[in-house]
């Protein structure tokens, strides 16, 4: 039995794919100590892992203070989280032995901690994988990024390097936390630039497992109705105008609509709800999707994966982060359409939905990618690869 240190300060989309991985590791005899934001303590504890937490508010404040307009500003925000994450991990693991670590590919200072603790490391990549070369393609050039942002990155990187004794050579190392071995929760077929990734990247497909979260949704209410499901995810979902636009697009049509609006929007803010709509703050997405005929989504990696895994075509309305890339891949493989939120009209949304539902080519493409996702292995394949890593990198237990 090995002792595993798992570091993940990410939000829902970074946490959920690891649930099945942790459960599977523990079922095969590993002991897992999992650091996460406090909001996910209960969810991770149900896997059987020992959970330790960061201060959610301090982490979010540090990350956001880096800025949001440029990719390099987000790297600055990640550097600013170092003093939130690293001291907590070092203090709470002092004197403890670990055989290897798994860290999120973005949040949690994983590369820095692996260097400080001198542990063999695996990156847990819940978005598209990137090499330095593919990352540099999307990083705004220095001629575009304001000089003060570049300067701030350089000074922050120097300060963090000096404080923790780990060299930081590029924004890529901060943003994507490269490790000797990377588990990627998609398939090569869906990955962008898939040909550039060698065998140190293992594409295991979507990691979909039971999440053991509370729910307030009666699945019997939609049985046999094949609803359209609408959700903007768990982060960028305060969109009252969009929800009202959905009422205009689909209200009093023959479609049953299930719409999840998140916990930060009051249902009362939406006004009169059409009779064919079921509106909830939270919907058990992976339980609903097998009954769904169309998923209108923000295009978060997990949501897109889950829709396609269950054979549901997509209309993607990307909001931020990697969502435009996800939308592009959905369109590329023919599994759905992409729309822009800015200037979106009810007729455009309704026409896109009608097109996806009426053309057999979309369902054919979804059936193909869904089968590949279901056959890829998911969290069980991930743990197979982790155990192979232990052998290959001579992890002694």
Residue range 134-151: mean pLDDT, rounded: 90
Confidence (pLDDT) at 222: 86
Q: Which residues of 165-176 are buried (b: 16+ CB within 10 A; e: fewer)?
A: ebebebbbbbbb
- For residues 397 and 203, give the distance between their C-alpha atoms in angstroms, rounded to a whole number: 26
Q: Which of 301, 342, 332, 311 is nearest to 229 (CA)?
A: 311
Confidence (pLDDT) at 282: 87
Residue range 30-42: mean pLDDT, rounded: 95
Instruction: Look up the pTM and report it.
Output: 0.91
Q: Which of 23, 377, 393 is nearest to 203 (CA)?
A: 377
Confidence (pLDDT) at 140: 86
Express each pLDDT in 354-386 by its tens digit: 999 999 999 999 999 999 999 999 999 999 999
Residues in contact with 379: Cβ distance below 8 Å, sequence separation at least 6, in sequence order: 17, 19, 20, 21, 23, 24, 204, 207, 208, 209
Q: Look at strands 121-125 and 181-184 and give their pairing.
A: parallel
Confidence (pLDDT) at 258: 95
> Exposed, middle or buried: residue 224 (CB in 10 Å: 0-12, 13-18, 19+)?
exposed
**Res. 1 pLDDT band, cuts 50 70 90:** confident
Residue range 16-20: mean pLDDT, rounded: 95
Confidence (pLDDT) at 177: 96
**Res. 72 pLDDT band, cuts 50 70 90:** very high
Query: Are the CB atoms for 35 and 89 separated by under 8 Å?
Result: yes
């Amino acid at each position: 039995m090995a002792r595993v240190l798992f570091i993940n300060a990410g939000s829902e989309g970074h946490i959920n794919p690891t649930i099945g991985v942790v459960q599977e590791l523990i079922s095969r005899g590993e002991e897992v100590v999992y650091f996460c934001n406090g909001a996910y303590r209960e969810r991770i504890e149900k896997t059987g892992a020992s959970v330790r937490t960061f201060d959610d508010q301090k982490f979010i404040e540090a990350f956001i203070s880096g800025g949001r307009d440029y990719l390099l500003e987000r790297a600055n925000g990640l550097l600013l989280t170092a003093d939130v994450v690293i001291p907590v991990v070092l203090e709470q693991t002092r004197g403890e032995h670990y055989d290897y670590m798994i860290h999120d590919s973005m949040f949690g200072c994983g590369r820095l901690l692996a260097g400080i603790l001198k542990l063999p490391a695996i990156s847990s990549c819940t978005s598209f994988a990137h090499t330095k070369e593919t990352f540099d393609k999307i990083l705004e050039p220095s001629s575009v990024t304001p000089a003060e942002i570049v300067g701030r990155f350089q000074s922050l990187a120097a300060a963090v390097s000096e404080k923790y004794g780990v060299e930081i050579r590029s924004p890529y190392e901060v943003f994507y936390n490269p490790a000797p071995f990377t588990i990627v929760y998609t398939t090569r077929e869906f990955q962008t630039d898939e040909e550039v990734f060698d065998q140190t990247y293992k594409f295991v497909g979507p990691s979909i497992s039971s999440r053991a979260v509370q729910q307030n949704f009666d699945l019997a209410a939609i049985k046999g109705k094949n609803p359209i499901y609408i959700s903007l995810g768990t982060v960028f979902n305060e969109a009252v105008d969009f929800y009202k636009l959905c009422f205009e697009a689909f209200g009093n049509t023959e479609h049953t609509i299930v719409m999840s609006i998140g916990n930060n929007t009051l249902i009362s803010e939406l006004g009169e709800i059409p009779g064919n709509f079921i509106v909830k703050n939270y919907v058990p997405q992976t339980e609903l999707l097998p009954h769904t005929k169309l998923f209108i989504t923000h295009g978060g990696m997990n949501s897109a994966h889950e829709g396609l895994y269950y054979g549901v075509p997509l209309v993607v309305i990307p909001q931020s982060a990697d969502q435009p890339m996800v939308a592009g891949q959905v369109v590329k493989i023919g599994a759905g359409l992409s729309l822009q939120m800015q200037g979106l009209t009810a007729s455009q949304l309704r026409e896109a939905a009608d097109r996806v539902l009426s053309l057999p080519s979309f369902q054919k493409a979804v059936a193909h990618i869904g089968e590949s996702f279901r056959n890829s292995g998911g969290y069980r394949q991930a743990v197979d690869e982790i155990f192979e890593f232990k052998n290959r990198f001579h992890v002694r237990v």
